[in-house]
């Protein structure tokens, strides 16, 4: 395949310098997001640039990208990418007026990504998701030497980018090109692994010799995430507790033996949040700003939130918030079967969309309890900020939670989270200090935690110190970025020994 002229490289790093960090991701805020992945990758990439690193992010050119970046400029001419038995024309774009920070490259494959959704529509995944993300991963590897001068470190995120690591170690031309290149894989949610029929091997360009128990095969199917795990130099997940959970039969989603096999090449690092964006003392999206030393204006935010959800403005009534994807993982079954949620003289507001059964059940609950329950299925950033500012407490009874960002934001806004003692919730909520934890995945356990929280809420002398402590917690990216830098150094050492 001939190499078209791309002009000057987007980034050039001297051979003796630190490698350019290349993030390969299916989501990146604000261009494409369905959950916490987009914000997590964007937050990490930004703080890495602030620390002096060269960072390039590769993201599919979805339709949603055009909403945020209508003016795009091509990077060189189109290239032909071979995968399996077919070739696809691929183009690469950047924003015309790109802001300072990570350099974001949009990978344009219209046949794969010019669609209404990221992964599917109307509750169903696209039938060709295996081919879509395999092609994306392969195209990025062809683009790297054209756009980046000097050494790189490839950091893939979740199953969608995992095949890039397999290709780098199994294709003859890529093995030579990336012989000394360190690779890192972050598992943001191991509940989604990219399982596909074995018949997709040729379509995805996966060599038959790696369709084995040791690499890409999983109970008679292809497992993209497993392939990435077995070829990565270092693997991270998004909290220390979740790293421990992934090594267990009950928490490993069928991959616990792979996580165990990784040994000290696997670690957990808490995500961060942008504390300038999530700061009630400077947030212009909320009704009235406030801070830990004087949270008086939080009452105005609460009243505004009650109005927004059509609820009575009752200052002393506890207001519980929930925002996120309405799926089983988030504990919606506990909430819907909670005696207190259905009968307590309190208010509950729900923001987000997801499985139709949960949307319908919450809507029915709001109709049955119009003075106590409000539901908004159309998510907006503004409403999420207002929800954080107006709520007294936040429900996070997750079945599992690799890290979670909502509990970090909520604490910053003085809305104490009620969560299960799993994953990142266990690592970031201090029980009866900055929130309330429970263990069993059962409605009575949630109700017990709600009762404990309300006992504090109705006693201002107990509540206000806890709220202030939560608001002063540091959930910035700096410490997490330092941990990632340590992981990168280990990956570099492993790659040197391998080369």
Q: Please write the tens of the pLDDT for every residue from 82-95.
A: 998 899 999 999 99
Q: Is the pLDDT of residue 45 over 80?
A: yes
Instruction: Please report the pLDDT score of residue 364 as a whole number.
Output: 98
Reported as a pLDDT band with limits 50, 70 and 90, residue 105 is very high
| 471, pLDDT greater than 50 | yes
Percent pLDDT > 70 in the chain is: 98
pTM: 0.93
CA-to-CA distance for 251 and 121, rounded, in angstroms?
29
- Range from 13-22, 255-264, 341-350, 443-452 carrying the lowest mean pLDDT: 13-22
Quick one: pLDDT band at residue 6, thresholds 50, 70, 90? low
What value does the mean pLDDT take over residues 7-28? 84
3-state SS of the chain?
CCCCCCCCCCEECCCCCCCEEEEECCCECCCECCCHHHHHHHHHHHHHHHCCCCEEEEEECCHHHHHHCCCEEECCCCEEEEECCEEEEEEEEEECCCCCCCEEEEEECHHHHCCCCCCEECCEECCCHHHHHHHHHHHHHHHHHHHEECCEEEEEEHHHHHHHHHHHHHCHHHHHHCCCCCEEEEECCCCCCCEEEHHHHHHHCCCHHHCCCCCCEECCEEEHHHHHHHHCCEEEECCHHHHHHCCCCCCCCCCHHHHHHHHHHEEECCCCCCCCCCCCCCCCCCCCCCECCECCCHHHHHHHHHHHCCCCCCCCCCEEEEECCECHHHCHHHHHCCHHHHHCCCEEEEECCECHHHHHHHHHHHHHCCCCEEEECCCCHHHHHHHHHHCCEEEECCCCCCCCCHHHHHHHCCCEEEEECCHHHHHHCCECCCEEEECCCCHHHHHHHHHHHHHHHCCHHHHHHHHHHHHCCCCCCHHHHHHHHHHHHHHHHHHHHHC
Backbone phi, then psi, for 51, in 5-degree steps?
A: -85, 0
pLDDT at 13 over 80: no
Question: Taking 80 as the threshold, does the pLDDT of residue 223 lie above it?
Answer: yes
Contact present, 444 and 454 (Cβ < 8 Å):
no
Does residue 2 carry a pLDDT above 60? no
Instruction: Quote the CA–CA distance of 375 and 361 in Å, as a whole number.
Output: 10
Q: What is the pLDDT of residue 162?
A: 98
pLDDT at position 7: 56
Q: What is the pLDDT of residue 8?
A: 63
User: Using one digit for the tens of pLDDT, what is the confidence trace for 333-390?
Assistant: 999 999 999 999 999 999 998 899 999 999 999 999 999 999 999 988 899 999 999 9
Task: Give the number of other CB atoms < 10 A from CB of residue 492.
Answer: 20
Most confident of the ranges 11-20, 323-332, 431-440: 431-440
Instruction: Find the mean pLDDT for residues 96-103.
Output: 89
Q: Sign of torsion, CA 236 242 243 247?
A: negative
Decide if pLDDT at 1 tops 50.
no
pLDDT recorded at residue 4: 39
Q: For the residues 303-313, what does the mean pLDDT come to?
A: 97
Phi, psi of 453 (to 5 degrees): -65, -40
Q: Is the pLDDT of residue 9 over 80?
A: no
For the stretch 134-164, pLDDT in tens is: 999 999 999 999 999 999 999 999 999 999 9
Check residue 3 and give its pLDDT: 38
Identify the band that residue 15 occupies on the pLDDT scale cut at 50, 70 and 90. low
What is the per-residue pLDDT for 11?
Answer: 80
Range scoring the smallest mean pLDDT among 3-12, 234-243, 360-369, 429-438: 3-12
pLDDT band at 36 (very low <50, low <70, confident <90, very high): confident
Average pLDDT over residues 491-497: 95
HSE at residue 220, side-chain half, CA atoms within 13 A, is 0
What CA–CA distance (Å, rounded) separates 198 from 196? Answer: 7
Tens of pLDDT along 159-200?
A: 999 999 999 999 999 999 999 999 999 999 999 999 999 999
Model confidence band, residue 123 (pLDDT cutoffs 50, 70, 90)? confident
Whole-number mean pLDDT of the chain? 95
**Residues comprising the chain, all counted:** 499
């Amino acid at each position: 395949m001939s190499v078209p002229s791309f002009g000057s490289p987007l980034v050039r790093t001297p051979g003796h310098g630190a490698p350019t960090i290349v993030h390969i991701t299916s989501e990146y805020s604000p261009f494409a997001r369905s959950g916490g992945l987009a914000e997590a990758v964007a937050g990490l990439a930004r703080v890495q640039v602030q620390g002096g690193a060269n960072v390039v992010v590769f993201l599919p050119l979805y339709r949603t990208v055009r909403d945020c970046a209508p003016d795009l400029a091509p990077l060189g001419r189109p290239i032909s990418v071979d995968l399996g038995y077919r070739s696809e024309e691929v183009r690469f774009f950047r924003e015309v007026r790109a802001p300072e920070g990570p350099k974001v490259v949009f990978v344009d494959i219209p046949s794969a990504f010019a669609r209404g959704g990221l992964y599917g529509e109307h509750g169903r995944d696209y039938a060709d998701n295996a081919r879509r993300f395999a092609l994306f991963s392969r195209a990025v590897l062809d683009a790297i030497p054209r756009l980046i001068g000097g050494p790189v470190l490839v950091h893939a995120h979740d199953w969608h980018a995992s095949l890039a690591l397999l290709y780098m170690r199994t294709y003859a031309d890529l093995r030579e090109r990336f012989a000394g290149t360190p690779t890192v894989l972050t598992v943001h949610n191991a509940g989604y692994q990219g399982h596909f029929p074995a018949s997709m091997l040729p379509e995805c360009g996966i060599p038959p010799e790696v369709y084995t128990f040791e690499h890409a095969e999983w109970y008679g199917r292809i497992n993209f995430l497993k392939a990435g795990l077995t070829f990565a130099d270092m693997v991270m997940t998004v909290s220390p507790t979740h790293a421990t959970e992934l090594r267990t039969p009950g928490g490993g989603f069928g991959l616990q033996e792979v996580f165990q096999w990784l040994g000290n090449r696997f670690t957990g690092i808490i995500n961060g949040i942008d504390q300038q964006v999530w700061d009630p003392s400077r947030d212009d999206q909320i009704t009235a700003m406030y801070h830990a030393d004087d949270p008086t204006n939080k009452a105005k935010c609460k009243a505004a939130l009650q109005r927004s959800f059509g609820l009575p403005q009752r200052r002393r009534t506890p207001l519980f918030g929930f925002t996120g994807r309405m799926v089983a993982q988030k504990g919606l079954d506990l909430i819907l079967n909670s005696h207190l949620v259905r009968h307590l003289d309190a208010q509950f507001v729900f923001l987000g969309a997801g499985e139709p059964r949960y949307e319908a059940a919450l809507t029915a609950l709001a109709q049955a309890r119009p003075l106590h329950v409000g539901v908004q299925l159309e998510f907006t950033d503004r409403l999420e900020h207002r929800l954080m500012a107006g709520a007294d407490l936040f429900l996070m009874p997750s079945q599992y939670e690799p890290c979670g960002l909502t509990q970090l934001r909520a604490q910053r806004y003085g809305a104490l989270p009620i969560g299960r003692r799993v994953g990142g919730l266990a690592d970031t909520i201090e029980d009866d200090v900055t929130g309330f934890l429970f263990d069993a995945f059962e409605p009575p356990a949630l109700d017990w935690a709600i009762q404990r929280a309300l006992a504090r809420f109705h006693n201002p002398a107990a509540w206000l110190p806890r709220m202030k402590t939560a608001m002063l917690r540091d959930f910035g990216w700096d410490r997490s970025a330092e941990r990632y830098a340590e992981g990168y150094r280990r990956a570099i050492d492993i790659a040197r020994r391998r080369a």
